[in-house]
Amino acid sequence: MTTTTSNRYALAIDLGGTKVEAALVDPNGAIFPPSRFRAPTGRASSSDQLAESVRTVIRKSTAALPDDAELLGAGIGSAGPISLSRGEVSPLNLPAWRDFGLRAVVEEELPGLSVSLRGDGNCIALAEHWIGAAQGVKFFMGMVVSTGVGGGLILDDRLIDGPTGNGGHFGHVEVGGEDTVCGCGGTGCVEAVASGPKTVEWAQAHGWTGTTGEELAAHYADGNEIAVQAVRRSARAVGHAIASATALVDLELVAIGGGFSHVSADYIALVAEAITDRAAFPFITKVRVVASALSHDGPLIGAAALVHHPERLSEAARA
Ligand SMILES: [Zn+2]
């Protein structure tokens, strides 16, 4: 039987701090549900355990490839930092892996196929640009506000991953007037100010008695004063950093996803407001901020875009 365009699949792999997930994704960006598998990762895992989880999801997903279908290659979206040229990953929340050769592990499982690696923030941006909120937008940033804050930049329809593969690391841009210590070793990073856990920590330090992002969301909705201040502080940090990014690269659109971006119904609006109090230049205030259109599937879909749409990757990174 011959293959048609629609049954040429990419194997997408998403490596995160708590799980690794793999699935087959078709040329329209649709995940093939029977091929979707996950396995645990986590801070306490050894290097061998992590590698075994990766191999397990690859084997299960590829076993679900229909008989008449073709596997084109694999894309990996990994928690960062990464090294693009060496195919290595050093995910902040997986201490067993520092400069670990993840691409080689995947290549061993898929002889003869090409394997492409990018940071998960970059994959989210690619996914929004391909089938999400940023279709047809040339100057775009995709981002997540969750346990961490991540992002990816698309400028003139190309992903800006940079020579090391870590371009668009929006979570580690500095926010003015803040000195909270960040997991990266810096201070005042967007992630250290605006992430879910850091926002909860800030609220607790100011007398709030809750413990989770969900409680913070409930107390925000009830008008609890500290919860309101905490959520606004997170949105302000994100908005100010978006204003700075827009000053630098003239963004048209930013799409925000991630669990903590749902902490309040008006979170996206608060981010947009923060941009206009930070900046007056029309070329900055014109940037539109919207919610992600991809639910939780962005990283997998973006990993598949590495295979289905290599023309959206920068020339420098492909060389
Ligand atoms: Zn940082």
Is residue 307 a part of any domain in this protein?
Answer: no
Does the residue 279 lie in any domain? yes
Diameter of the chain measured on Cα atoms: 66
- Asked if residue 259 and residue 165 are part of one domain, the reply reads yes
- pLDDT tens, 15-49? 998 999 999 999 999 999 999 999 999 999 999 99
Residue 278, pLDDT score:
87
Cα–ligand 1 centroid distance for 188 (angstroms): 7
Measured in Å, residue 63 CA sits from the centre of ligand 1 at 39
Asked if residue 66 belongs to a domain, the reply is yes
DSSP string, 193-254: HHSHHHHHHHHHHTT----SHHHHHHHHHTT-HHHHHHHHHHHHHHHHHHHHHHHHH--SEE
DSSP label of 175: P
pLDDT band at residue 1, thresholds of 50, 70 and 90?
A: very low
Q: Determine contact, residues 235/271, Cβ cutoff 8 Å.
A: yes
Q: What is the distance in A from the centroid of ligand 1 to the CA of 114?
A: 32
Q: Are residues 114 and 139 in the same domain?
A: no
Q: Report CA(223)–ligand 1 centroid distance (Å).
A: 30
Same domain, 52 and 187: no
Calculate how far, in angstroms, residue 19's C-alpha sits from the geometric centre of ligand 1. Answer: 22
Same domain, 39 and 12: yes
Q: Is 109 in the same domain as 248?
A: no
> What's the domain count of the chain?
2
Are 148 and 275 members of one domain? yes
pTM confidence score: 0.93
Tell me how far the alpha carbon of residue 232 lies from the centroid of ligand 1, in angstroms: 20
pLDDT confidence of 319, banded at 50, 70, 90?
Answer: very low
**Does residue 149 lie in a domain region?**
yes
Pick the last residue of a domain from 92, 118, 144: 118
Is 107 in the same domain as 149?
Answer: no
Please tell me the distance between residue 150's alpha carbon and the centre of ligand 1 in angstroms: 10
Among residues 95, 118, 141, the one where a domain terminates is 118
Would strands 253-257 and 288-291 be described as parallel, antiparallel, or unpaired? parallel
CA of 179 to the centre of ligand 1 (A): 11
Read off the pLDDT of residues 162-201 as tens digits, 9 standing for 90 and up.
989 899 999 999 998 899 999 889 999 999 999 999 999 9
What's the CA-to-centroid distance between 186 and ligand 1, angstroms?
A: 5
- What distance in angstroms lies between residue 170's CA and the mean position of ligand 1's atoms? 9
DSSP 134: T
Q: Each residue of 254-305: pLDDT tens digit?
A: 999 999 999 999 999 999 999 999 888 999 999 999 999 997 899 999 999 9
Tokens standing for residue 216:
């913070």
**Residue 304 included in any domain:** no
55: pLDDT strictly greater than 80: yes
Q: Is residue 299 part of a domain?
A: no
Compute how many other C-beta atoms are within 10 angstroms of the C-beta atom of residue 172: 22
- Packing angle, helices 213-221 and 196-205, rounded to 10: 70
Two structure tokens written together for 234: 């997170």
- Residue 27 CA to ligand 1 center (angstroms) comes to 35
Spacing, Cα 237 to ligand 1 middle (Å): 13
Ligand 1 centre distance from Cα of residue 313 (Å): 25
At which of 69, 92, 118 does a domain end? 118
Q: Assess whether 139 and 187 both reside in one domain.
A: yes
Radius of gyration of the chain (CA): 19
Ligand 1 centre distance from Cα of residue 80 (Å): 12
Spacing, Cα 107 to ligand 1 middle (Å)? 31
Domain shared by 192 and 63, yes or no: no
Residues spanned by the domain of 186: 133-291
Query: From CA 195, how far away is CA 259, in angstroms rounded?
Result: 10
Distance 79 CA to ligand 1 centre (A): 14
> How does residue 316 score in pLDDT terms, banded at 50, 70 and 90?
very low
CA angle centred on 291, ends 158 and 212, rounded to 5°: 120
The letter for the amino acid at 249 is: V
Q: Is residue 60 part of a domain?
A: yes
CATH number at residue 261: 3.30.420.40
157: phi > 0 → left, psi -120 to 50 → alpha, else beta; which?
Answer: left
pLDDT tens digits, 103-162: 999 999 999 999 999 999 999 999 999 999 999 999 999 999 998 899 999 999 999 999
- Do 235 and 138 have their domain in common? yes
* CA 318–ligand 1 middle distance (angstroms): 27
Q: What is the mean pLDDT of the chain?
A: 94
Same domain for 284 and 143: yes
Report the pLDDT value the prediction gives residue 183, as an integer from 0 to 100: 87
Question: If pLDDT is split at 50, 70 and 90, which confidence band does 73 have?
Answer: very high
Q: Tell me the CA–centroid distance for residue 98 and ligand 1, in Å.
A: 17
Examine the domain organization and report whether 167 and 253 are in the same domain: yes
Position 127 in a domain: no
